[in-house]
């Protein structure tokens, strides 16, 4: 807490310094966005031959043309992306929190073994399970539907979120649920009435990551979706560039890439409030 | 079928075709009794043209629905390999020269020989181009267009500084270096004479072919000597030392993508491209580009050849091979279809189609045709097909050369090591 | 593993509260039933979706499999080649270790420092938080590769700054074998958004009264940090450490994108998983790649195991009592 109790002495100075530091750091973070947005206003022939961040003119045609540059419009891609990402959020939050509650609070046989297996699934590089998984989904006849991208989330296959929630659930004092047990609450009520409400920060965190990672995911949609009308935004963004040397639409790619950040940014802004609001609940709980 | 269409008419056709293709496939379940899958890599321009052809085909063949799948080059091969592993390859597949051997020899592609003369009408097709799609004597792919290696240069800059080039079919590397040394001082700030191409398999191939050798023998052994490789790298190392090519770290910025190419970012006057990439390169630059042949070595034996830019192949597991062959044939031989496709994938091997489309091309596209006409007078026969493991060897050239370029190894040592690596890789494959 | 540690405490509790045998069995049945009911979705997913492909990859690691033709049994050949003959693999491993050892501690430090700086009610803090998360949003899009060249290229931002301040400029950092890996370490640190958010959520779980009480006792910020923040944040630090280490070992996309899929220059960014990917999908050696994957799993498993063992000594959970 280097900055914490600065309110006493030299508070103003420290606040100014802090703002300057934060602003400088923020610029370093923003540079890529500026560059990308800059590129999105340039005509194709200038993007790489004249690589400054600032465009000399503001031409919106890359946005207008980019939206309909592929045979399916970006309206559809966004719709698909939102449907998949929203379902992923719901699936991850519900399934992973149930599992995490079991690992964090309940006692049952072979718990340590399941926990180790759960963590173990994080460690295998996905490239080698990709093909067997594809064959599995092909047999289930789920290929070319959203199911391979959505159903696993409802079955808590993402150990990251389980482990994350376990760590936070275990940060909640046990006296609280012990008191609830005295009042006759079963595990379900403890989970629903105590754990979830007291875990807003971590649930919001999990929601942010679920949304963003699913929205950004590219490999899953690439492997499982064939029909362009089912494509997601990142898949569509890749279609602008032909790295084998055909004609590519770089300006449109930059424009649509910049645009594709808007929803994730909005989701981030919305949910980070919940992380912050967690403090009030955190104060309540003791 | 025979009315010529103008470019404007063609664009209208594209637009209507693309939307109709969507409509057609939306309401497909009601009508279709036969479905074919078609997969290709490319860009939005190619997608539009291909879809317009798909739509044309569906109109002409009621009851057949074509499901299109398309991806960027970098994603295509992972998708295809996964589909192949699941025995779920699309019926008609766009194939690359390198991968066609991998897929054909591993039994994923259908032998097209039985369809030639029936569903596949290749009477008008250049026999040399047809041969390029043969693996072990059988046709596994029909070339979508001829292509050749080339030096592309920045004509605007060359004209401004007063450089002149000799007859491109006869010029030698000695001429090339002399021109470079002459122009070195006159080039704009930050621009070098030529891009180093010592890490590229096809340049090595041209180099050894100019010496009357090949990369691989028919039975898949190395067909050049370690000395050839050493000379090849020594030549480029000399260029780097004399400052005709950019320093190693700048050269390493180019991993083969169009947007990293020295011509586009403006750090080289000459650079390598395949002729079918010329339009894309020109689109990304303000200056005017031109295209010439790779210089000869002393002795003047032709090293270049007409290489298929890509193929259409059929999956071995296609449920209705006859229907798939008909679709494939439509892309290769149909006049209306080729009025739409033009030379976007390369210059076709079908003589009458080539004549037909050459009249509606842009100036940049015409430069490609003119170039290929020159090249075709100065080529040597197709090389033997690359053996298994050739792809791995291809990718290993780059780090091996970079070890020289960054001063970590001598040319001699690196050449020897690489040669040994190539031999063991072929044995392991 | 610490799971066994807290399993032990749980077992202790169980023993402490032991009435009659019949009741105990009944209670144990209820507990097991509740536990497995909550675990049910995960179990279905594990057995239905995860286990099959995982076992398949384990099987394939003992075969010669090129994706296009059926796999052929090869015994320990793949493991033998990987462990004793593959020189490039040794190199890839050393690149990966280098990356893990530098990027993980630095990334976590930056993430924690910024999470604490942003855990205040400074004006505009929402904007800062969002801005700092931005690089992580970009993830691994094509634009990142181009951007990295804009910053670390020959005429990039870094060299222009060097020229301005010191009067000389460096090489193209991103494509020089001596520095390329470092630019990837910087890239990893720059994308510190995820651990930062998790730290932030963790900080929000620490009751403010503790700080108020400590401040009243006259504890300076540094002391508060070591006495309150660090201990109470330990489970979250532990989580980030384990996860970031696993992620760093599996790092693929950044190297793939920035090096254009080559792992160059001169293999200086040839990460383990990049090598694995090239073996699987470029060289058609899925069997060998599967063996590589399982070897990596063992390596990561050892590191994770060490982390869990050490956590006994520095990670305390609220539910363990103190």
Q: Report DSSP state, residue A67.
A: H
On chain C, the residues whose CB falls within 8 A of the CB of A254 are 143
Q: Cα separation of A81 and A61, whole Å?
A: 24
Interval C215-230: pLDDT, tens: 898 888 889 999 899 9
Question: In which band, very low, low, confident or very high, does the pLDDT at A51 lie, cut at 50, 70 and 90?
Answer: low
C259 touches chain A (CB under 8 A): no
- β-pair partners for B151: B272, B292
Question: Which residues of chain A neighbour C220 with C-beta distances below 8 Å?
Answer: 5
Task: Give the single-character DSSP code of C47.
Answer: I
Q: Quick check: helix, strand or coil at residue B136?
A: coil
Residues of chain B in contact with residue A247, where contact means CB-CB under 8 angstroms, are 43, 45-46, 279-280, 283, 344
> Could you give the CA distance from residue A227 to residue A241 in angstroms, rounded to a whole number?
19
Q: Which residues of A touch B311 (CB under 8 A)?
A: none
Residues of B in contact with C174 (CB under 8 A): 253
Of A205, B350, A115, B314, nearest to C236 (Cα)?
A205
- How far is C228 from C205, CA to CA, in rounded Å? 12
Residues with Cβ within 8 Å of A244's Cβ and at least 6 positions away in sequence, in order, are B41, B73
Q: How far apart are CA A219 and CA B59, in angstroms?
A: 34
Cross-chain Cβ contact C171/B249 below 8 Å: yes
Flag if B286 and A49 touch (Cβ within 8 Å).
yes
User: Which of A45, A71, A228 is nearest residue B48 as measured by Cβ atoms?
Assistant: A71
For residue B405, CA distances in Å to B197, B201, B396, C26, C172 come to 11, 16, 14, 74, 14
**In a structure prediction context, what are the per-residue pLDDT tens digits for chain B, which is 429 residues long?**
334 444 444 444 444 444 444 444 444 444 447 899 999 998 888 898 999 999 999 999 989 999 999 998 888 999 999 999 999 999 999 999 889 988 998 999 999 999 999 999 999 998 888 988 998 889 999 999 888 999 999 999 999 999 999 999 999 999 999 999 999 999 999 899 999 999 999 999 999 999 999 999 989 999 999 999 999 999 999 999 999 999 999 999 888 888 888 998 899 999 999 998 898 889 888 899 999 999 999 877 889 998 888 999 999 999 999 999 999 999 999 999 999 998 888 888 888 998 898 888 999 999 999 999 999 888 888 898 888 889 899 999 999 999 999 999 999 999 999 999 999 999 987
Query: DSSP labels for C81-121?
Result: IIIII-HHHHHHHHHHHHHHHHHHHHHHHHHHHHHHHHSS-
* Distance in angstroms (rounded) separating the CA atoms of residues B312 and C179: 43
Cβ-nearest to C147 among A32, A107, A128: A32
Contact yes or no for A238 and B277 at CB 8 A: no
pLDDT bracket for residue A23 (50, 70, 90): confident
Counting one residue from chain A and one from chain B, the pairs whose CB atoms sit within 8 A come to 122
Q: Which helix (H) or strand (E) holds B65?
A: strand B64-71
Flag if A47 and B284 touch (Cβ within 8 Å). yes
Res. C61: pLDDT tops 90: yes
Phi, psi torsion values for B15, nearest 5 degrees = -60, -50
- Alpha-carbon gap, residue B181 to B244, rounded angstroms: 7
Q: Are B270 and B194 in contact (CB under 8 A)?
A: yes
pLDDT at A284: 44
- What distance in Å separates the CA atoms of residue B130 and residue B142, rounded to the nearest whole number? 6
Helix%, strand%, coil% for chain C, nearest 5 = 75, 0, 25
Q: What is the mean pLDDT of residues C282-301?
A: 95
Asked if C34's CB is within 8 angstroms of A127's CB, the reply is no
| CB B76 within 8 Å of CB B99 | no
DSSP B188: P
Q: Which residues pair with B313 in a beta bridge?
A: B93
| A36 touching B (Cβ < 8 Å) | no
Give the span between the Cα atoms of B274 and B308, in whole angstroms: 11
pLDDT band (50, 70, 90) for residue C121: low
pLDDT band at A253 (very low <50, low <70, confident <90, very high): confident
Q: How many CB pairs lie under 8 A apart between chains B and C?
A: 83
Residues of B in contact with A134 (CB under 8 A): 82-83, 85-86
What are the structure tokens assigned to B232, written together? Answer: 């090849």
Digit-coded pLDDT (tens) for A130-150: 999 999 999 999 999 999 999
Listed range (A45-54, B204-213, C243-252) with the worst mean pLDDT: A45-54
* Percentage of residues in chain C having pLDDT higher than 70: 91
Q: Do B88 and A229 touch (CB under 8 A)?
A: no
Give the confidence band of C16 by pLDDT, cuts at 50, 70, 90. Answer: very low
Query: Is pLDDT above 80 for A243?
Result: no
Integer Cα distance of A129 and C50 in angstroms: 9
Residue pair A212/C130 in contact by the 8 Å Cβ criterion:
no
Q: B318-329 b/e with 16+ CB inside 10 Å = b?
A: beebebbbbbbb
DSSP conformational letter for C289:
H
Determine how many CB atoms are found less than 10 A away from the CB of residue B363: 8
* pLDDT at position B81: 94
**In the predicted model, what is the mean pLDDT of residues A214-224?**
91
- Mean local confidence (pLDDT), C177-203: 91
pLDDT value at position C3? 43
A136 closest CB neighbour out of C53, C208, C236: C53
Could you give the CA distance from residue B302 to residue B168 in angstroms, rounded to a whole number?
A: 12
Contacts of B307 (CB under 8 A, 6+ apart): B97, B132, B146, B147, B148, B149, B274, B382
By CB atoms closer than 10 A (0-12, 13-18, 19+), residue A30 is middle
Element containing residue B89 per DSSP (H, E): none
Beta bridge partners of B216: B222
How many CB pairs below 8 A link A and C? Answer: 295
Q: Which of C265, C277, C287 best tests the B interface by mutation, with the highest count of B CBs <10 A? A: C265
Residue of C184, C163, C158, C21 lying closest to C98 (CA atoms): C184
Considering only A23-32, A227-236, B367-376, B409-418, which range has the smallest mean pLDDT?
Answer: A23-32
Could you give the 3-state DSSP secondary structure of residue C190? Answer: helix
E strand or H helix that includes residue B290: strand B289-292
- Whether C211 and chain A come into contact, CB under 8 Å, resolves to yes
Per DSSP, B151 falls in state E
Using a CB-CB cut-off of 8 Å, the residues of chain B touching A250 are 259, 284
Phi-psi region of B61 (alpha: psi -120 to 50; beta: other; left: phi over 0): beta
Count CB atoms within 10 A of the CB of residue C298.
9
CB contact under 8 A, C318 and A170: yes
Residues C1 and C312: beta-carbon distance below 8 Å: no
Read off the pLDDT of each residue in A29-50 and give the average, rounded to a whole number. 75
CA distance B78 to C284: 11
Element (H, E) at C203: helix C193-205
């Amino acid at each position: 807490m280097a900055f914490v109790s600065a309110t006493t002495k030299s508070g103003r100075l420290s606040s100014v310094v802090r703002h300057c530091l934060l602003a400088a750091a923020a610029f370093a973070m923003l540079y890529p966005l500026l560059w990308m947005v800059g590129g999105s206003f340039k005509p194709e022939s200038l993007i790489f031959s004249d690589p400054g961040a600032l465009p000399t003119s503001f031409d919106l045609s890359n946005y207008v043309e980019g939206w309909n540059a592929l045979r399916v419009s970006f309206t559809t891609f966004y719709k698909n992306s939102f449907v998949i990402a929203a379902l992923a959020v719901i699936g991850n939050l519900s399934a992973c929190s149930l599992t995490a509650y079991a690992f964090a609070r309940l006692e049952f046989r072979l718990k340590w073994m399941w926990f180790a297996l759960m963590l173990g699934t994080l460690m295998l590089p996905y490239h080698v399970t990709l093909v067997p998984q594809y064959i599995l989904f092909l047999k289930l006849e789920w290929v070319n539907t959203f199911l391979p991208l959505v159903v696993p989330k409802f079955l808590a296959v993402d150990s990251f979120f389980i482990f994350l929630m376990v760590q936070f659930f275990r940060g909640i004092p046990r006296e609280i649920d012990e008191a609830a047990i005295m009042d006759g609450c079963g595990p379900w009520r403890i989970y629903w009435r105590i754990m979830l409400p007291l875990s807003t920060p971590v649930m919001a965190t999990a929601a942010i990551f679920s949304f963003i990672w699913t929205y950004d995911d590219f490999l899953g949609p690439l492997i499982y979706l064939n029909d362009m009308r089912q494509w997601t935004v990142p898949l569509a963004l890749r279609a602008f560039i032909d790295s084998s040397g055909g004609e590519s639409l770089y300006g449109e790619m930059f424009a649509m890439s910049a645009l594709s950040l808007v929803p994730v940014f909005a989701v981030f802004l919305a949910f980070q409030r919940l992380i912050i609001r967690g403090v009030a609940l955190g104060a309540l709980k003791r | 079928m025979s009315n010529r269409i103008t470019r404007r008419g063609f664009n209208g056709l594209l637009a209507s075709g693309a939307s109709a293709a969507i409509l057609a496939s939306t309401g497909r379940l009601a009508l279709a009794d036969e479905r074919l899958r078609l997969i290709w890599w490319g860009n939005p321009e190619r997608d539009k043209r291909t879809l317009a052809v798909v739509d044309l085909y569906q109109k002409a063949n009621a009851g057949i629905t074509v499901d299109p799948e398309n991806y960027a080059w970098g994603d295509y091969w992972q998708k295809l390999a996964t589909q192949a592993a699941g025995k779920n390859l699309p019926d008609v597949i766009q194939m690359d020269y390198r991968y066609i051997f991998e897929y054909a020899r591993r039994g994923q592609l259908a032998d097209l020989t039985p369809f030639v003369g029936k569903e596949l009408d290749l009477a008008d097709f250049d026999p040399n181009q047809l041969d390029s799609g043969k693996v072990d004597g059988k046709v596994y792919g029909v070339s979508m267009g001829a292509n050749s290696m080339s030096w592309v240069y920045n004509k605007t800059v060359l004209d401004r500084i007063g450089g002149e080039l000799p007859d491109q079919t006869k010029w030698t590397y000695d001429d090339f270096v002399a021109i470079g040394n002459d122009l070195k001082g006159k080039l704009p700030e930050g621009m070098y004479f030529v891009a180093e191409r010592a890490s590229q398999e096809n340049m090595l191939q041209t180099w050894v072919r100019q010496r009357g050798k090949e990369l691989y023998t028919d039975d898949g052994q190395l067909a050049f000597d370690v000395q050839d490789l050493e000379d090849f790298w020594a030549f480029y190392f000399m260029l780097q030392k004399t400052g005709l090519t950019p320093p190693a770290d700048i050269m390493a910025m180019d991993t083969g993508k169009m947007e990293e190419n020295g011509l586009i970012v403006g750090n080289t006057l000459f650079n390598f491209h395949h002729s079918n990439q010329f339009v894309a390169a020109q689109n990304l630059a303000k200056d005017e580009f031109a295209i010439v042949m790779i210089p000869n070595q002393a002795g003047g034996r032709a090293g270049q050849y007409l290489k298929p830019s890509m193929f259409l192949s059929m999956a071995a597991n296609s449920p209705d091979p006859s229907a798939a062959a008909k679709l494939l044939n439509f892309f290769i031989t149909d006049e209306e279809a080729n009025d739409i496709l033009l030379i976007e994938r390369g210059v076709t091997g079908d003589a009458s189609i080539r004549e037909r489309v050459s009249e509606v091309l842009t100036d940049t596209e015409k430069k490609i045709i003119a170039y290929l006409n020159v090249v075709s007078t100065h080529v040597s026969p197709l090389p033997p097909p690359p053996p298994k493991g050739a792809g791995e060897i291809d990718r290993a050239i780059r780090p091996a050369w970079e070890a020289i370029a960054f001063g970590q190894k001598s040319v001699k040592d690196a050449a020897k090591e690489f040669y040994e690596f190539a031999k063991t890789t072929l044995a392991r494959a | 593993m610490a799971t066994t540690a807290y399993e032990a405490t749980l077992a202790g509790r169980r023993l402490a509260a032991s009435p009659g045998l019949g009741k105990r069995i009944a209670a144990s049945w209820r507990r097991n039933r509740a536990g497995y009911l909550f675990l049910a979705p995960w179990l279905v997913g594990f057995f239905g979706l995860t286990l099959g492909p995982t076992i398949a990859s384990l099987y394939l690691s003992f075969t010669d499999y090129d994706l296009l033709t059926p796999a052929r049994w090869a015994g320990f050949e793949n493991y033998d080649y990987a462990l004793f003959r593959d020189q490039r693999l040794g190199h890839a491993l050393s690149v990966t270790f280098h990356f893990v050892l530098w990027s993980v501690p630095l990334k976590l430090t930056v993430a924690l420092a910024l999470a604490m700086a942003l855990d205040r009610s400074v004006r505009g803090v929402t904007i800062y938080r969002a801005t700092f998360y931005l690089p992580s949003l970009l993830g691994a899009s094509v634009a990142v590769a181009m951007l990295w060249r804009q910053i670390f290229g020959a005429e990039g931002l870094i060299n222009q700054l060097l020229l301005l301040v010191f009067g000389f400029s460096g090489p193209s950092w991103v494509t020089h074998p001596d520095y390329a890996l470092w630019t990837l370490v910087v890239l990893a640190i720059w994308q510190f958004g995820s651990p930062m958010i998790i730290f932030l959520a963790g900080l929000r779980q620490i009751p403010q009264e503790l700080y108020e009480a400590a401040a009243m006792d006259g504890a300076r910020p540094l002391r508060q940090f070591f006495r309150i923040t660090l201990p109470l944040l330990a489970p979250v630090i532990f989580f980030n450490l384990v996860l970031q280490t696993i992620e760093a070992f599996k790092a693929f996309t950044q190297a793939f994108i920035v090096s254009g899929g080559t792992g160059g220059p001169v293999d200086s960014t040839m990460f383990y998983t990049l090598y694995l990917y090239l073996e699987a999908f470029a060289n058609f050696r899925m069997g060998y790649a599967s063996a590589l994957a399982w070897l990596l799993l063992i390596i990561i498993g050892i590191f994770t195991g060490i982390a869990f063992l050490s956590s006994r000594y520095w990670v305390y959970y609220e539910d363990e009592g103190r």
